[in-house]
Structure 1
Amino acid sequence: MFDTVLIANRGEIACRVIRTVRDMGLRSVAVYSDADADAPHVALADTAVRLGPAVAAESYLNIDRVIAAALASGAGAIHPGYGFLSENATFARACEDAGIVFIGPPTDAIEGMGDKITARATVEARDVPTVPGISRPGLTDAELIAGVTGTDGGAGVEFPVLIKPSAGGGGKGMHVVASPDDLADTLVGARREAASSFGDDTLFIEHFVDTPRHIEVQVMADAHGNVVHLGERECSLQRRHQKVIEEAPSALLDEETRARIGEAACDAARSCGYRGAGTVEFIVSAKRPDLFFFMEMNTRLQVEHPVTELVTGLDLVELQIRVAQGEPLPVSQGDITLTGHAIEARVYAEDPSAGFLPTGGTVTSLRWPTAPGIRVDTGIRAGQVIGSDYDPMLAKVIASGHDRAEAIGRLDAALAGTLLSGLGSDAGEGTNIDFSRYLLADDAVRDGALDTGLLDRIVGDYSVPAMPAEALVVAALTLQDTARDSAHRSGRHGAWAAVDGWRAGADHAPFRSRVAVPGTGPSDLELSGTTDLTLSVRPVDPETTAPPAVMAQVLAVAADGEDTVRVLTVASGDGHPAASRRWTSRTVPDGAGQAVAVSGPDGTWVVRPLGLDRDAADAAGGEDDVLSPMPGTVVAVRVTDGDTVTAGQPLVVLEAMKMEHALTAAHDGIVHLSCATGDKVGAGTVLATVPAALPATVPA
């Protein structure tokens, strides 16, 4: 039916779809905004078409421009990926009107399942169990409140409840409400988020299941009446209803329940005449795993589809394309088996140590893991600018193994060796990589005792991991090597090429360098010795604590491509050497200079050399200033210039990477605004100032 496929998306999913398109012998067409002109998905495709400016509404979400790009490039089909237009019935219909195959379900299925209120009624007709709630279309906030509390004469809904937008997905606009007193205010924010994200502010409310687990089932259907499920995925590790780590299969379900929930998912697909790849999401009580309730159906490929591919051995994108070409499914339910275990971590541009605020910047260095059982789906490259126009997800690191423990171990090791710098002041600070390792190390996660509230319960104990002593020794050695090489390249020789402070008539002084130590701050390093080493660390800021002095022995040094491999031991507190461990290091770009990336079993860190006279930190606004923590758009101003405000009062609401963030007053005072609704602001921009209120004068 077609030999050319346009991928109406960007980033890692565009790259992933393009690879299968090319493997099938088809021609691929990429589309891009001005912000993505040099992005990897553009270079990977056979040809590419510009859509427009960076703003998604004028590029990736502009239906007319996407259709025009398909027609101009000769594409007979469009794969929407996920997000953007993937569940947009108007777009699917526009493809049909233009004679272009939409690689997705029929328009009626998108409309029926895209509206969660309609979806509940549709699947209930097939006896698929649903969560109790209020889901009539067109209800106002007052009517929703009356229905939930029972003041309209109905039975009401037991608290806590979950507010959900009828359109869209990805956790946007979803809020848990524990008390009726909080319902009205939360509905206001949920409607605004739903309207902003999906262009539809319709909401419904359902009971929030106690200790819920989020389990979803992958289904595939063709145009010949065949519907199969490809097993389930556990997606309970999530924040703000946004999945962080997913795995297949779930550790909760037994074989009987797995078969029942799979058949229920197939019934949900049959209820709407589904075709193609889809995911039926269920809520399951951790206390009663035999009970499950339909939540929604995502009428598209899911972010987490790789874990299903790894345990089934099937390429879901290939199946999508073959179904779109009119072929029957090449597998029946009896052919599908789940082998081993797979687990995936999403890599986000966000700072877990600062409340998961989105980050951004230029990717200065990048190294993805390569090891048995590891797959990386990514769409970024070194030198690429990560802005605030799109979702903050950068990549997915996926691991598979014979069992769950092996898969988790492989994923942890893969994340430990991932190098992605430039998005924060320290390695890991600009991404959630270290936080994902923190989750994987949690006892409940290791035991499979999951629920959707687990992440929120343990996040408060997370802190940026300190750089271990061995890694600091390796960094100092690499800095010493770099300084020596630089001296030789400059033409200096002998004593003039030394980097250890040599002077006539005196012993060699130690190598010294001032660096920014991740997790600690600016420190002075002093390295003595060649094989048996002594490293002392002194903090530049006397109020901070430096890592302890270290005695180490280098056992072996080797080269491995760009990396220098060192095996060393560090003396323990009782004087006995610890076990030797392998570390790698390399110099990486850092703005106008060079930094050192160190990787080992404990993680990856980037150490940045500083001038010997550089201050510990740059000032970033006065204590009375309310600063934008990241690039974004001001979507609401909650106060008027000159208002008297109190500590903790919301002042400005900022939207960045599809998330809203309320910025509050640090103390009581009179607010002076420096922004307005609709303003686009950069990180560190002063949005408001609240001078601290002076104490009242007491008469003598």
Structure 2
Amino acid sequence: MTDLFHTVLVANRGEIARRVIRTLRDLGIRSVAVYSDADATAPHVREADVAIRIGPAPASESYLDIAAVIAAAKSTGAQAIHPGYGFLSESVGLAQACAAADIVFIGPDITALEVMGDKARAREHVVRHGVPVVPGFDASGLSDAEIAGEADRVGYPLLVKPSAGGGGKGMEVVTSSDGLTTALASARRVAAASFGDDSLILERLIRRPRHIEVQVFGDRQGTVLALGERECTLQRRHQKVIEEAPSAGLAEGTRERLLATAVLAAESVSYVGAGTVEFLVDADAPDEVFFIEMNTRLQVEHPVTEQVTGLDLVALQIRVAAGLPLDIVPSVHGHAVEARIYAESPERGFLPSTGIVLRFDPPAGVRVDAAIETGSEVTGFYDPMIAKVIATADDRTTALALLDSALSRTVVLGVDTNIAFLRRLCRNERVIAGALDTGLIETMLPLGATPPTAAMLDAAARAVQWASEPLRTSALWRELPGWRSGAPSAERAQPSFVTDDEELLTVAPGDDHSGGAARAAVDEEGAVWVAQDGITMRLRPLDRRAMMRRRLAGSQTDSGSQGPDGRAPMPGSVVAVHVEDGSTVAAGTPLVSIEAMKMEHQVLAPQDGTVHLLVSVGEQVRRDQAVARVTTEESR
């Protein structure tokens, strides 16, 4: 591999950094990792040949610091920088800094980044080259009143989205003019925080869209190829959840038009490297294809393309960046489906979850790209995606069943995850039939909590007992809470548990459900995390004294009273305060907005009354922390 680089710096973190490092190792190239203070012990830091600290935990002061990334590359002798996805992957500034430092940017040329990195400019550019787009307009430089006028002209419903960046961040759906002002403010705030640019575009919302993207690749010799399409229709809040290749039930004529249009869009900017051209296909009019954007980088879902083509896309990126020509003939075989595992709680509105991973058992027999391992810390500083599970088979039905089976064997203890929800998606009748549109997930909401099985409760009870025994407090016993000797355990008091929804659960005395696949572990606060068949929950143990206090409190409190406090639904940072301290509000009025893991959530007034703010913008809050109190005459 003498034609390639000897040292490459990976300007990213998590599973994509580990993924790139793996290919660099296979190619015999020295890898350099960068990390923030929050990632000092992260797996990608250990797996790289060299690791360089580039700043504190906030991404703006570390992974988004171009000067720090370039300095790390220079100090380690890196000839090239691979940006992964997210962060600086589509940054014109990083590409320019690389050029100035005589370092190869493993990505497209600056012109392609400038054109395609801005949705509004990309839209105008591709229209001139005959690529169809969704009706809409660029809101840059327009006042809110002018935007409202243009919105009326295009017609509602509309999708408001940042011109810069991607991944669904900052997107807002507006169904009428009444919600436009609030949507614009929220989209600008998220766009500025995520991409450093609050420019927006507005497009007509297609009510039953399918989201299909085409993987393209170009080299410096002028060749541009389409490596096939991916179905990315299963989304929540414009964030992809399950992706597959090839697309489900796509007509061959539509497929050919998608691939040809994607190549046309890439050729229009003389594209070099890996890129993804994204389209909307109207489920009610499948012959209509609309360009929505081009992501000038590798995608999170690239593994499904690798699985059906047999190609290593990262290796191709490195070859093309080194000036070598594409010498492949793309072909697709079989079917691959990828599920994104997020640290979040679907039952609580998909709110992000943070904490220490007490146990991570990835499934065998499928591909797993993970950011975590047992002992990893999931913080609120970065994206909540912690792993991807990819199943491949000869046909789509078998691939979905294999993915469902793999998810049932995936164990993550210590943070909430969406694994059980992903399994529901795999088994959904419409998903199996391929009758997809981007609103499908919304039809499954809201989600109710799944009750624990008897085996889960028994595993939780055993974990509590083992954790409390003085001779069994070593890491070994905590990591293997499901282990037991062949002899029956001694008789013990069975604890009761309380869920996060304050539901009381009791283990029946004498029950023994040591069979099954239930796993449990105890966290630092004494709570028990237990999992079985993809279902995970956190249980707080109650001894007899605590049970008595709970009964007394229950007899003295009106169970229907919500209380005066508005509480943070997740740990994060206060990014906006919507009311004045001392003002009068009605129940349901937005009080403050909290952001964590690139998600923004409003805390609403729990009742009518006078608001008393307990936090300010920029303050970090804990989950369930009171951020405002709304008092009435009776409660003063």
Normalising by structure 1, what TM-score? 0.82
Normalising by structure 2, what TM-score? 0.90
Shift of 1:471: 5.0
- Say which of 422, 433, 444 aligns to 1:447: 433
**Equivalent in the alignment of 1:436:** 422
| 523 and 512 in structure 1: CA distance in 2 versus 1, 3 angstrom threshold | farther
- Say which of 262, 266, 272 aligns to 1:265: 262
**Equivalent in the alignment of 1:419:** 411
- 2:587 counterpart of 1:654: no
Shift of 1:591: 2.6
Query: Is the CA contact (8 Å cut-off) linking 2:456 and 2:530 kept in structure 1?
Result: no
Structure 2 residue runs of 5 or longer lacking an equivalent are 475-486, 554-560
- Say which of 57, 60, 76 aligns to 2:60: 57
Query: Is the CA contact (8 Å cut-off) linking 2:458 and 2:507 kept in structure 1?
Result: no
Count, aligned residues:
610
| 484 and 357 in structure 1: CA distance in 2 versus 1, 3 angstrom threshold | closer
**Equivalent in the alignment of 2:277:** 280
Query: Is the CA contact (8 Å cut-off) linking 1:515 and 1:607 kept in structure 2?
Result: no
- CA-to-partner distance for each residue in 1:187-218, whole Å, 9 max, x for gaps? 22222222222111111111111311111111
**Equivalent in the alignment of 1:464:** 449
Shift of 1:45: 0.2
Shift of 1:635: 1.1
- Say which of 293, 296, 299 aligns to 1:299: 296
| 658 and 592 in structure 1: CA distance in 2 versus 1, 3 angstrom threshold | closer
Separation in structure 1 between the aligned mates of residue 400 and residue 524 of structure 2, nearest angstrom: 35
- 2:220 counterpart of 1:229: no
- 2:119 counterpart of 1:116: yes
Query: Is the CA contact (8 Å cut-off) linking 1:389 and 1:656 kept in structure 2?
Result: yes
- 2:43 counterpart of 1:103: no
Separation in structure 2 between the aligned mates of residue 251 and residue 350 of structure 1, nearest angstrom: 27
- 2:612 counterpart of 1:672: yes
**Equivalent in the alignment of 2:32:** 29
- CA-to-partner distance for each residue in 1:481-518, whole Å, 9 max, x for gaps? 9999979x9xxxxxxx98544xxxxxxxxx54214376
**Equivalent in the alignment of 2:400:** 408
Separation in structure 1 between the aligned mates of residue 285 and residue 140 of structure 2, nearest angstrom: 31
- 2:575 counterpart of 1:642: no
> What does 1:198-217 align with in structure 2 at a 5 Å threshold?
198-217=195-214
- CA-to-partner distance for each residue in 1:124-182, whole Å, 9 max, x for gaps? 12211111111364333222221221xxxxxx213211112111111112111111232
Cα RMSD (Å): 2.8
> What does 1:291-440 align with in structure 2 at a 5 Å threshold?
291-331=288-328, 335-371=329-365, 374-423=366-415, 430-440=416-426
What code does the residue aligned with 1:523 have? L
Q: Secondary structure at the match of 2:507?
A: strand
| 645 and 219 in structure 1: CA distance in 2 versus 1, 3 angstrom threshold | same
- CA-to-partner distance for each residue in 1:4-28, whole Å, 9 max, x for gaps? 0100000111001100011011000
| 262 and 660 in structure 1: CA distance in 2 versus 1, 3 angstrom threshold | same
Shift of 1:686: 2.1
| 594 and 666 in structure 1: CA distance in 2 versus 1, 3 angstrom threshold | closer
> What does 1:495-534 align with in structure 2 at a 5 Å threshold?
499-501=489-491, 512-516=493-497, 521-528=503-510
| 653 and 598 in structure 1: CA distance in 2 versus 1, 3 angstrom threshold | closer
Q: Secondary structure at the match of 1:613?
A: helix
Query: Is the CA contact (8 Å cut-off) linking 2:358 and 2:413 kept in structure 1?
Result: yes
| 74 and 616 in structure 1: CA distance in 2 versus 1, 3 angstrom threshold | farther
Q: Secondary structure at the match of 1:65?
A: helix
Shift of 1:65: 0.4
Q: Secondary structure at the match of 2:574?
A: strand
Shift of 1:276: 0.3
| 669 and 512 in structure 1: CA distance in 2 versus 1, 3 angstrom threshold | same
- 2:212 counterpart of 1:190: no
Deviates further, 73-82 or 249-258: 249-258
Separation in structure 2 between the aligned mates of residue 337 and residue 524 of structure 1, nearest angstrom: 56
Query: Is the CA contact (8 Å cut-off) linking 1:478 and 1:596 kept in structure 2?
Result: no
- CA-to-partner distance for each residue in 1:598-625, whole Å, 9 max, x for gaps? 534x756677765443449999x98212
- 2:517 counterpart of 1:584: yes
What code does the residue aligned with 1:220 have? F
**Equivalent in the alignment of 2:628:** 688
Between the two proteins, what is the percent identity of the paired residues? Answer: 52
Q: Which structure has the larger Rg?
A: 1
Query: Is the CA contact (8 Å cut-off) linking 1:647 and 1:667 kept in structure 2?
Result: yes
Structure 1 residue runs of 5 or longer lacking an equivalent are 150-155, 424-429, 490-496, 502-510, 529-533, 536-551, 553-563, 567-582
**Equivalent in the alignment of 2:480:** none
> What does 1:562-641 align with in structure 2 at a 5 Å threshold?
566=515, 583-586=516-519, 588-591=521-524, 597=530, 599-600=532-533, 603=535, 610-615=542-547, 623-641=563-581
Separation in structure 2 between the aligned mates of residue 17 and residue 616 of structure 1, nearest angstrom: 55
**Equivalent in the alignment of 2:249:** 252
| 207 and 478 in structure 1: CA distance in 2 versus 1, 3 angstrom threshold | closer
Separation in structure 1 between the aligned mates of residue 48 and residue 456 of structure 2, nearest angstrom: 40
Separation in structure 2 between the aligned mates of residue 617 and residue 316 of structure 1, nearest angstrom: 59
